[in-house]
Chains A and B, each alone.
Chain A
Amino acid sequence: MKLSTRDVAQFVARGYLQFPALTPDAINEQYIDEMNRGVIPEVAAGTPLGRAYPDGSALQRLYSHPDVADVIASLVGPDPLVDHHFVHLTLGEAQRTGFGFREPLPSQHWHQDSTIDTRQGFDLQIMWYPHEVTPDMGGTRFLPGSHLRIVSEAAIGRYQNIRGQRHVVCPAGTVLVLHHGIWHGGGSNSGPTTRHMVKIRLNATVPQIRLWDDSDLRDGDYEQRPIFWATTARPDDDLHSILCEMQPWYEADTGRLEFINRIRLFRHLLGDDSFDADYWLSRLEINPGRRHESASGTREL
């Protein structure tokens, strides 16, 4: 089933969606076996996803899984390209000591993948966890709501801990889909067994406009509601509330800028600049005295 408008709004607001135990053991175990046999293929950047992986391979079965396929189609549409994939191994004690490391290897610094990216659309990063990840295994650390910050890759490595940071702890077969800009890093594995994760980055080949099931979009979603002095409880699935969810690490002023940037992204995905959430962009667009330049001359609007 494709994502709903609410799901996509949550992706826009938080920069990720997590789907626990989405893939069955048969595919999960096949991936571990292929990893151990060293048969995970190399893929040329820009290869269409449908031709990237051998038929019947674990990664082909992953993206062909109906639920995974629907998530991909909802966010980057049909026929995306494989930007790259990467196999992540975080060594557990048994393998670590084999390489001569007595202590757990330190966690990875915070970073944003690739490089400075100012596009309005986004690439989709799929992180797949083919086995259970327990707290001691150093599951991926990521920061909800960080995806729209324009930073330069590892320049954020100075930060060690950020309020609201999350560590992936999940059952086998969990799929995490992320906006390419989300801040993240691998954790430190202090457990006995090695942690596996594979990441696949996908580029859209079609405009990312209403690729999801938008049948839940209502006229009421476009209506403004009382703000600041607002004492009436709002339903959990209220689109404005989803898009204007605060994160505990936002500075007092930049949290509001995050709302503005989320609404701009959501407008882009809707293909509709008339949408606003809690008036954040409407206020900035009010300019009664602006002068309109036209071929027939300048006039007041």
Chain B
Amino acid sequence: MARTVRLPMTRAGRGEPVPGSRAGRDGTLPDCRRVSPPTVGRMHRQQVLVLWLGDSNLDSPVVAWSFWDGSGQRDTMAGDESQPPYQSGLAALRDGWRVFQASPLLPHYPGTETQTSYLKYEFWFDKIVEVDA
């Protein structure tokens, strides 16, 4: 099983990278298309964070969240946290998470304008981390 060598974890809710993290405020977090090939004996793995926000603005508050760790360092499951990792989508962005999908704004289908359903403002983020091969 792969062993994680370093993960950019955050101080929850403040959008500040933990000292030593690869994440920075200057947008220099590795992009999977630009990141260097892993050094010998190391591999890249994806961490995925999904935030559901209070409206369609990325700086609106987090109302729900999920996290899956392709590095295998952390297991998560439904109901395992009471506080979100960030207060807003923007805080996650400033901690180095990259948005790769956002839910579109769709017109309301006639007759269902007041119906509520799935969480509405969904943003998918990722980080690429190195693990031992």
Check if A160 sits within 8 Å of B116, measured CB to CB. Answer: no
Please tell me the size bucket of the interface on B.
Answer: 20 to 34
Interface of A, helix, strand, loop or mixed by DSSP: loop
Quick one: given A107-B79, A188-B77, A249-B64, are A159 and B116 in contact (CB under 8 Å)? Answer: no
Question: Which of A76-84, A200-208, A254-262 forms part of the interface with chain B?
Answer: A254-262
Check if A160 sits within 8 Å of B118, measured CB to CB. Answer: no
A160 neighbours in B (Cβ, 8 Å): 64-67, 76-81
B62 neighbours in A (Cβ, 8 Å): 163
- Shortest beta-carbon distance from A273 to chain B in Å: 16
Chain B residue at minimum C-beta to C-beta distance from A158: B66
Check if A155 sits within 8 Å of B55, measured CB to CB. Answer: no
How many residues from A make CB contacts under 8 Å with B? 35
For window 155-181 of A, CB contacts with B under 8 Å fall at 155-163, 165, 167
Contact of B63 among A157, A249, A260 (CB under 8 A): A249
A157 neighbours in B (Cβ, 8 Å): 78
Question: Is the CB of A149 closer than 8 A to any CB of chain B?
Answer: yes
Question: Is the CB of B117 closer than 8 A to any CB of chain A?
Answer: yes
Check if B66 sits within 8 Å of A159, measured CB to CB. Answer: yes
A contact residues vs B (CB 8 Å cutoff): 106-110, 141, 148-151, 155-163, 165, 167, 185, 187-188, 248-254, 257-258, 260-261
Check if B116 sits within 8 Å of A149, measured CB to CB. Answer: yes
Contact of A261 among B66, B79, B116 (CB under 8 A): B116
Question: Is the CB of B30 closer than 8 A to any CB of chain A?
Answer: no
B53 neighbours in A (Cβ, 8 Å): 251
CA distance A50 to B81 in the complex (A): 41
CA distance A188 to B75 in the complex (A): 13
Check if A110 sits within 8 Å of B78, measured CB to CB. Answer: yes
